Amino acid sequence: MNISSAALPAHDPAVDAPKPHHAIYDYDSGPPVNRGKFAIWLFLATEVMFFTGLIGTYIVLRMGAATWPDPADRLAVDITALNTFFLIVSSATMVKAVERAMLGDNPGLIKWLALTVLIGATFVGIQAYEYAVLIKDGNLPDVDIFWSTFYAMTGFHGIHVAVGVIWNLCILIAAIFRKIPQEKYMKVELAGLYWHFVDLVWVLLFTIVYLM
Amino acid sequence: MRYFFTLMLLLVPILGVWTFVEADRWQLWFPQNVSSFGGEIDGLFNLILYMVGFTFIVTELALAWFVFKFSANRPGKAVFTHGSHKLEMIWTAIPAVALLFIAFSQMETWAKVKFESNFPKGGKYTKERPIAELWASQFDWRVCYPGDDGAIGTADDLERSYEFVVPVNTDIVFHLRSRDVIHSFFVPEFRLKQDALPGHTIPVWFRAEKEGIYDLVCAELCGWGHYKMSGRMTVVSQAEFDKRMADIKAEWFSNGKEQGQ
Amino acid sequence: MSQATTHAANSPHLEPGEGEAGTVRAHHDHHELGFLRKWIFSVDHKVIGMQFLFSGLVFLALGGLMAMAIRYQLAWPWRPMPGLAWMFPATGGAISPEFYTMLFTMHGTIMIFFVMIPLLTGAFGNFLIPLMIGAPDMAFPKLNMFGYWAMVPAFFFILLGFFVEGGHAAGGWTSYPPLSTIESAAPGSLTGQTCWLLGLTWVGVSSMMGAVNYVTTIVKMRAPGLTMMRLPLTIWGLLITSLLQLFALPVLTAAGILQLLDRTLNTGFFTPTNLQVNNITPDSFLYGADAVGAAAGGQPLLWQHLFWFYSHPAVYILVLPAMGFTSDILAVHARKPIFGYKPMVYSMSAIAGLGFIVWGHHMFTSGMNPALGMTFMVSTVMIALPSAIKVFNWLGTLWGGRIHLRTPMLFACAFVSMFIIGGLSGIWMAATPVDIYIHDTYIVVAHFHYVVFAGSLFAIFAAAYHWFPKMFGRVMNETVGKVHFVGSFIFTNMTFYMMHQVGVAGLMRRTADPYAYDVYQHLQPINEFITISAFCMFAWQIFFVVNFFHSMFWGKRVGRNPWNAASLEWDAPSPPGHGNFDRQLEVYRGAYEFSSPDVAEDFIPQTRKL
Ligand code: HEM
Ligand SMILES: [Cu+2]
Ligand SMILES: [Cu+2]
């Protein structure tokens, strides 16, 4: 005989049955940040790696190419520079919106958030226009590796901006219906973190795709 | 039961070592080696085999022994310990040294086989003047020898499919290329493998030290017919090689280029 | 440090985990949920864990069947499979070469992305994380639900691929372009590959949602007193795994989407110029057919780099949770504290960190710069070090124990035994000159089956037997469990061990008929031996299936803590109800206080105050 055959303790309803009407115990541990904020930082880390993959691809392909066209010859750098400026401004308006939300200033929140949504939408619009012109001229993604990478990088970023605009729009609508009281300012802040991230990525992409 | 489970755990190192010892007899071991560096590769394999074999036996025996000994029905509690700093240091440091030793012992051979700076120089065939271009495509091998001018890509090139003929005891350099997807040049008897990358020309060298006919295997999945993408590596004496080249040339120019297709 | 303030929250609609952090909430909504809310659209981590568990087991059976077909072909190439003529009318039941390439591609894909990852992180991760840290649920229960529901499109696409023209993807689970990007390069590259990419993208979305949730939960929702260094190693394994997912997976997602663009929009990321690819099927074999019309300048090696940048960490995703389960099970059933808890945590972290700089060891012969290969060799060899440390600490844990040889313990010991083999064979392949010869041979196949199948899957079995009482309030039958173990252990080794030797003999993986080459002809008998062992091993799993489902309903009922384990999950009722715990927890020590001389019993639960 060995220990393996030791009998398991049997079920005893007196101690083993769940206690009726117990409460739910929700603890808080770790660094003193909000759970949602913690999670959004993790999410942004995945986004950083996603764009690292794309930018890495771009760099490898560009380094490996025999020749690489001067972006200025192929792209409308000045319009996009203006667009970049818009996006940076929208980051500033987003900061304002978060600030208002923290203070519980609903009209202020609505004002600044609406402005952010508007500028964001303008950015997407200008990018769509840029695409339309390029495509009309026959510059499709399958023409050469320059265009392949151009569309992939700016396209993925564009999708991210569009998602940000929709996200902000949802919050704006909620704010209009007075669903964002002061204690729920975190909803605005989370969207704001994402928005700043998207903005930052664009500055990087603009520099390497358009300027370098 | 306790004896039975211990026996099962014991069988792992016992049968495990036994199969390795007997493998040669069952022809489950390296095919013969005919290349100049193949012996070194086998040696490095064996060096690691002895080191990991030792670790394998010791750890598996310890596992079986502990399971046997400490599953016995004894009075009292288990030993109460949370670990030992000294032991941790020992079993970190010793494997670390052993592993670094393994890593450094590999470098010379690796550099010899793959570094372009170590490719044969001054011989008949060099990186710049290869013996041939070897083209892989779904699902065959084609060899393109330079003609009399010694340069590939000129009108007097000689093409031949399936068979790659090289002279024995000569440093051979050839260019490996692919027409479509990735393939891999593998001759088990040479201990040599190199992928063929579309869009790239990869120089490869070897020196065969024994005449014979060897299988040229495609070692990278290249489609449904990957399994039958075989070729033949023929190693012959220099005199025979010259004769073969003359034959190939005569055949090539008498039948027109389509013959090679 | 954890703090629980007590004030009743006002909203009764909150799910456990959705509430304000640090609250104790009255819990009066004992209303019965309908079938749909309870089992299909559940936000309860335990039910979501079950969903992952059952779908994982279904795919395990599917992937296993494919493996059997692969083995059949390798033992008796082109011989019709008895009774399957109706499935393959064109060949009278035999496997065609196209079908064979599809089989091993989908076997690998399904086993890794639809079985092992979902079982380890989705099923056990979901079930165990809140329970082992004392939380009422995940931090984001709805996100958790979406995490499973993102698997549904993944299931859809991966199954759809079997029915499209040309069959499913056939470029290997690694999907190297241009084989996978050019439609005419392989039958599976026609449409199947697109399904494959879409399926994997959705798996990625699911894993990403899961990982964010797991990390947040583990960091933010631990019971008071449960510091990071008191966490069970299972939780450490799952935490590090989730971090690997977060940082590695997006790169694969990006690469997968780029490959999708190469296939659909003819971009040229991975496809070089001027290829001549000419065959779709054996029948339409034409020489010198159309050149492929992709954008110029792509690099096939770039895909390999991106793919392995994820997929090497992914192999540790496949093993770190298993290492955690093993550690916990060894300690509980040996009645011993984990030997070297901190070295265990550090070595898992080291494996994860080093795991990001070793991916090139899959590309030694790919044409990558050989100097780079040398640096990858050094980092790869060093990753064996933390693995070795873990093995030694497991042995240390067993030493001096009072070992109860129950089924979960047997599987956990087998994990250690098998992981030793897999880890050691890794060193051969890390050695660059040796890898020139053994890359893409059966040694590689033996290696990863020892770590993933004999290792991680055995750990999953161990975990299933060990935590079954927590899941269903009953234990699995011990005798049948032992029978299952013995057969699995023997047949698994019979199947995979000799693959080392055929690998040394040079046998290539992924060849439908190796005997077409003279060098491999003498290997047919040994392949037949392997195949028969594999059939036995597959058939033997019936003991597990029957035991599992039978015990679910008719197994012996046991109490909350049948194994006298010390970690928190055993404090909850079995099965745990809504909100998991029925009392407030306070943690005073680590999870491994077994056989302490301070108390009469041989264990001190984490919650017991001395
Ligand atoms: C002890 C540490 C390990 C080392 C040094 C190591 C080394 C390697 C190397 C060098 C290769 C490439 C072989 C080749 O293709 O030529 C490889 C392949 C592989 N390893 Fe490991 N490995 C280790 C542990 C693991 C673990 C723990 C797992 C999974 C749980 C794993 C899973 C795999 C898989 C799946 C492949 C094959 C991928 C493929 O080509 O399809 N390895 N390993
Ligand atoms: Cu091939
Ligand atoms: Cu790897």
Query: Which tens digits make up the pLDDT trace of C289-322?
Result: 333 445 567 899 999 999 999 999 999 999 999 9
- Average pLDDT value for chain B: 92
Instruction: Please tell me the distance from the alpha carbon of residue C370 to that of residue B127, in angstroms, as a whole number.
Output: 16
Instruction: Please tell me the distance from the alpha carbon of residue B41 to that of residue C431, in angstroms, as a whole number.
Output: 10
Query: Which tens digits make up the pLDDT trace of A49-93?
Result: 999 999 999 999 998 888 888 999 899 899 999 999 999 999 999
Q: Report whether pLDDT(C206) > 90.
A: yes
Query: Which tens digits make up the pLDDT trace of C371-388?
Result: 999 999 999 999 999 999
Flag whether residue B77 sits within 8 Å of chain C, measured between CB atoms: yes
Integer distance in angstroms from the first to the last C-alpha of chain B?
68
Where is C152: in which H helix or E strand?
helix C151-160
Mean pLDDT comparison of C124-133, C161-170, C178-187, highest-scoring range: C124-133
- For residue C581, which residues of chain A lie inside 8 Å, CB to CB? 22, 25
Residues 6+ apart with CB under 8 A from B211: B168, B235, B236, B237
Q: Report whether pLDDT(C217) > 60.
A: yes
Three-class secondary structure of residue C362 per DSSP: helix
Query: Which tens digits make up the pLDDT trace of C343-357?
Result: 999 999 999 999 999
Report the predicted TM-score, pTM, of the whole model to 2 decimal places: 0.94
Residue C90 banded pLDDT, cuts 50, 70, 90: confident
Q: Report whether pLDDT(C21) > 70.
A: no
Give the pLDDT score at A21: 77
In order of A29, B109, C325, C411, the CA distances from C458 in angstroms are 33, 38, 10, 6
Q: Report whether pLDDT(C207) > 80.
A: yes
Put simply, the chain B residues between 148 and 207 with a CB less than 8 A from any chain C CB are 179-182, 184, 186, 188-189, 191-195, 197-200, 202
Ligand in nearest proximity to the CA of B222: 2
Q: Report whether pLDDT(C278) > 60.
A: no
Q: Report whether pLDDT(B194) > 70.
A: yes
Picking from A23, A31, A42, the nearest residue to C27 by CB comes out as: A23
Q: Report whether pLDDT(A118) > 70.
A: yes
Strand pairing class (B163-167; B231-236):
parallel
CB atoms within 10 A of CB A160: 19
- Average pLDDT value for chain A: 91
- Which amino acid is residue B54, in one-letter code? F
> For testing the chain C interface, which of A1, A3, A24, A157 should be mutated: the one with the most C CBs within 10 Å?
A24
Q: Report whether pLDDT(B233) > 50.
A: yes
Mean per-residue pLDDT for C62-78?
Answer: 96
> For testing the chain B interface, which of C290, C304, C379, C432 should be mutated: the one with the most B CBs within 10 Å?
C432
Give the pLDDT score at C523: 94
Residues 6+ apart with CB under 8 A from C18: C137, C140, C141, C142
**For chain B, what percent of residues have pLDDT higher than 90?**
79
Query: Which tens digits make up the pLDDT trace of A163-194?
Result: 999 999 999 999 999 888 888 999 999 999 99
Query: Which tens digits make up the pLDDT trace of C478-511?
Result: 999 999 999 999 999 999 999 999 999 999 999 9
In contact, C251 and C306? CB cutoff 8 Å: yes
DSSP B19-81: HHHHTTTTT-SPPP--BTTHHHHHHHHHHHHHHHHHHHHHHHHHHHHHHHHHTS--SSPPP--
Query: Which tens digits make up the pLDDT trace of A18-29?
Result: 888 788 888 999
Query: Closest Cα partner for C191 from C170, C171, C146, C161?
Result: C161
Give the number of C-alpha atoms closer than 13 A to the C-alpha of residue C13, restricted to the C-beta side: 0
Q: Report whether pLDDT(C94) > 70.
A: yes
> Hey, are the CB atoms on B20 and C97 less than 8 Å from each other?
no
**For chain A, what percent of residues have pLDDT higher than 70?**
97
Where is B214: in which H helix or E strand?
strand B212-218
Six token digits for residue B173: 């350099």
Q: Report whether pLDDT(A5) > 60.
A: no
Residue C470 banded pLDDT, cuts 50, 70, 90: very high
Query: Which tens digits make up the pLDDT trace of B26-43?
Result: 889 999 999 999 999 999
Give the pLDDT score at A65: 84
Give the pLDDT score at A130: 95
Tokens 């065969």 found at: B208
Q: Report whether pLDDT(C285) > 70.
A: no
Give the pLDDT score at C498: 93
Residue B260 banded pLDDT, cuts 50, 70, 90: very low
Mean per-residue pLDDT for B2-14?
Answer: 95
**For chain C, what percent of residues have pLDDT higher than 70?**
91
Minimal CA separation from B183 to chain A, in Å: 21
Q: Report whether pLDDT(C12) > 60.
A: no
